[in-house]
Structure 1
Amino acid sequence: MRFTRTCLAVTTLTALAALLSPAAAADAAPGRAVAPGDTVTLAVRDALASLPVQDEDRAGYVRTKFRHWVDADKDGCNTRQEVLKAEVLEAPVQGPQCALSGGSWYSPYDDVYFTDARQLDIDHLVPLA
């Protein structure tokens, strides 16, 4: 079951990456069916708008199976802080224990700018459940 979920997550992320890839070389012709393996250039907002939305299904989901906010490179910044630093528009001040203050971020998902990192939900772009 865990392998199936991992494969599903990898497949979902791969498909999303392909949709959002800036290196896509050809536009799909209007009215032309897009076949698997075709390269399509699409604006990020159009790609996001085309993603299917479904009701959440929590069957079989156990939160404790997923490690949360690890510091994989042991530099004092956990995963959340690393992502915030990588996605920043205006760099925040990094204090002791990687505490971030200030900075600004943009969310293409809802076309909003943020100046408070606590308002950002970086861990649920692809739901675990």
Structure 2
Amino acid sequence: MRLHIRSTVLMLAATIAALTGTVAPASAAPSQTVTTTLREAIDALPMAAEDRTGYERTAFKHWVDADADGCNTRAEVLLAEAIEPPTVNGRCIISGGIWHSYHDNTDVETARGLDIDHMVPLAEAWDSGTSNWSAQERQDYANDLGDTSPSSR
């Protein structure tokens, strides 16, 4: 019973905080609470000019076979995102299948008709700070299955 009451109170507090539009910024010291609106918190975020200096797509090693199953990241995305599963031969060559391109709301019936896009393109990620990441961190990002989706050309 005590746990139920505590859960209810916590849920109520979270709901009230959400409805009143207040947040506590991460910059506040642990012993200090700052209350502000979401708009003010966003406006307080630091802004910096993006810098594409030094960007080369090759800085992001992509389409690796991370799990050593014979299929690279592109193939893994195609297999995971198919709305009608393709057939796959022993060397991970994909044939058949149907995919949905969310970018233009189109169904595509051949893997060759698809690009694999990153939700945040690699060049944009570079501009936003991945230029400071290690080569391994950039490779991990470029091959993150949760950040990629098929897109028709």
8 Å contact from structure 1 (residues 80, 123) kept in 2:
no
The TM-score normalised by the length of structure 1 is 0.54
Percent of aligned positions that are identical: 57
Residue of structure 2 in register with 1:98 after alignment: 92
Q: Which has the higher contact order (CA 8 A, sep 6+)?
A: 2
Higher strand share: 2
Structure 1, gaps ≥5 residues long: 1-28, 37-56
For 1:69 and 1:123, locate their aligned partners in 2 and report how far apart those are by CA, in whole Å: 12
Partner secondary structure for residue 97 of structure 1? coil
**Structural RMSD (CA):** 3.0
Structure 2, gaps ≥5 residues long: 1-18, 22-36, 40-50, 124-153
Superposed, which structure 2 residues align to 1:9-24 within 5 Å?
none
Higher helix share: 2
For 1:116 and 1:58, locate their aligned partners in 2 and report how far apart those are by CA, in whole Å: 34
| Aligned residue type for 2:65 | D
Say whether residues 1:120 and 2:114 are aligned partners.
yes
| Aligned residue type for 2:72 | N
How many residue pairs align between the two structures?
Answer: 82
The TM-score normalised by the length of structure 2 is 0.46
For 1:35 and 1:100, locate their aligned partners in 2 and report how far apart those are by CA, in whole Å: 46
For 2:115 and 2:89, locate their aligned partners in 1 and report how far apart those are by CA, in whole Å: 21
Superposed, which structure 2 residues align to 1:1-129 within 5 Å?
35=38, 58-129=52-123
